[in-house]
Amino acid sequence: MNKREISEIKKQFKKDNNAITRICGCYVDAEKNIRTTLKEAFFALSEEEIFKYYEIFKKTLSGGIGKNLHNLEYSIRDEGEDSAHALLMKLREEKLADDETVDSFYNKVIENYDYGENYYIILIHSAYDVPGKASDNEEMFDASEEVYHHILCCICPVKLSEPGLSYNEATNLIEERPRDWWVQPPMTGFLFPAFNDRSSDIHSLLYFSKNPEELHTEFIDACLGAPSPISFRSQKEAFQEILSDTLGDSCDYTIVRQIHETLTELAEEHKEDMEPLALTKPQVRDLLEKSGVEPERLEHFDTVYKEAAGEDTSILVPAITGTGKFAVKTPDVDIKVNPDRLDLVETRFIEGRRCLVIAVENNVEVNGMPVKMWEEAQN
């Protein structure tokens, strides 16, 4: 799914939409015991509850694609009769109406979701009547193309509120505030099936992880049955390993700076894309060639890439560039440079020492204080 398709589904979580047919919930304590469950027609809930749930649903479809949101693809071998995929299909087809199927899913989550604290599993079934689109991309609500039946799962931590004081209106006194268990924004979730090309794709799903580095691969393997994604950090580390093993002792400042400049330019060219820019193995090789890496250094590139990232793995450009800042670090100094002004930093030998030379003009600050770094030139 791309940004536009995710946004279209998120827009369904609003007051005047009645696509959600059913909601189920399961509150699990830190010892993996089920404390209570919920099974309701969604609009049987109070208006206040509905709005709170809408916020949770939107959060489960929020974040960067490839960072917090991952498109997971099923292969034929992942879709067997007794597979996790088959259970998801059954939940969807039954519209969460069969208690036994829903309970089977809860038990599988409880068995495989490693958290160690209280949490709340939420499942909803929704039937989105997908409007057609005219040639000018305007929606035609009287020309529905299909009904997108899907389930959304949200796993939310439940934490005890902080102690404190509050005003009691009934007694007109400041008193100790009662502590209660508070359902927090989701930490994990998924949408099944995916809404690809504005249509149901039962061979893929959209996975959400609030913490990009805590993907809960055991949960993905057991409860979703799709290959686990690669985290941003792992992709960046793989790219660094490719550079290090390919360049060896020729991995100098000039080449790394050129690679970063090229990546920044690519990111700028594709910033309006609906999906994040990813580089395949041939494209990474081409990047290194254009950045000045000598041909003999690329003789073993294919082997290095396969060992570091995997033969068919693409690496997301945002995972490599991070915030976009060009960072230079030594054990004692940390410098971050605007990627548009990399010309300000040079490497030189000064009095026999390797040095980074930074050209400065006006507006120099030290610890937030404007300072003058040199005496004005004498006439």
Q: CA 53, CA 73: separation in Å to the nearest integer?
A: 28
Summarize the confidence of residues 76-90 as an average pLDDT: 93
211 is a domain residue: yes
pLDDT attached to residue 324: 61
128 shares its domain with 142: yes
Q: Choose the weakest-confidence range: 232-241, 299-308, 309-318, 357-366.
A: 357-366
At which of 182, 199, 224 does a domain end?
224
Contact (CB, 8 A) for 96 and 151: yes
Quote the mean pLDDT of the chain: 88
CA distance 70 to 253: 33
| Domain edge (last residue) among 224, 256, 280 | 224
Q: Are strands 199-201 and 69-73 parallel, antiparallel or unpaired?
A: unpaired
113 alpha-carbon distance from chain centroid = 18
> Is residue 116 located within the same domain as residue 262?
no
Identify the top-confidence range among 4-18, 90-104, 126-140, 342-356.
90-104
The distance in angstroms from the start CA to the end CA of the chain is 65
Residue 349, in any domain of the structure: yes
Strand partners, 357: 346
In a domain, 91, yes or no: yes
| Helix, strand, or coil (residue 71) | strand
379 pLDDT above the threshold of 60 = no
Q: Indicate whether 287 and 144 sit together in one domain.
A: no
**How does pLDDT run across 24-73, given as a tens digit for each residue?**
999 999 999 999 999 999 999 999 999 999 999 999 999 999 999 999 99
Same domain, 187 and 247: no
Please tell me the predicted confidence (pLDDT) of residue 139. 61
Q: Are residues 41 and 142 in the same domain?
A: yes
pLDDT band at 248 (very low <50, low <70, confident <90, very high): confident
Q: Do 205 and 57 share a structural domain?
A: yes
Q: For residue 193, say if its preceding peptide bond is cis, omega within 30 degrees of 0.
A: yes
Alpha-carbon distance 146 to 128, whole Å?
Answer: 8
- 215 and 293 in a single domain? The answer is no
Both structure tokens of 321: 């560039």
> Domain span at residue 260?
231-323
* pLDDT tens profile 286-314: 988 888 888 888 888 999 999 998 888 88
Are 34 and 56 contained in the same domain?
A: yes
Decide if 281 is inside a domain. yes
Is there a domain that residue 287 lies in? Answer: yes
* 224, 244, 265 - which closes a domain: 224
Is residue 379 included in any domain, yes or no? Answer: no
For residue 263, is it within any domain?
Answer: yes
Please state the rounded mean pLDDT for residues 167-176: 92
The pLDDT, as a whole number, for residue 264 is: 81
Judge if 236 and 256 occupy the same domain. Answer: yes
pTM: 0.83
Is the same domain home to 47 and 136?
yes
Task: Give a yes or no: residue 146 inside a domain.
Answer: yes
User: Do 23 and 128 sit in the same domain of this protein?
Assistant: yes
Q: Are 17 and 24 in contact (CB under 8 A)?
A: no
Q: Are 209 and 188 in contact (CB under 8 A)?
A: yes
Same domain, 218 and 238: no
Domain count for the chain, please give it. Answer: 3
How many beta carbons lie within 10 A of that of residue 38, not counting itself? 14
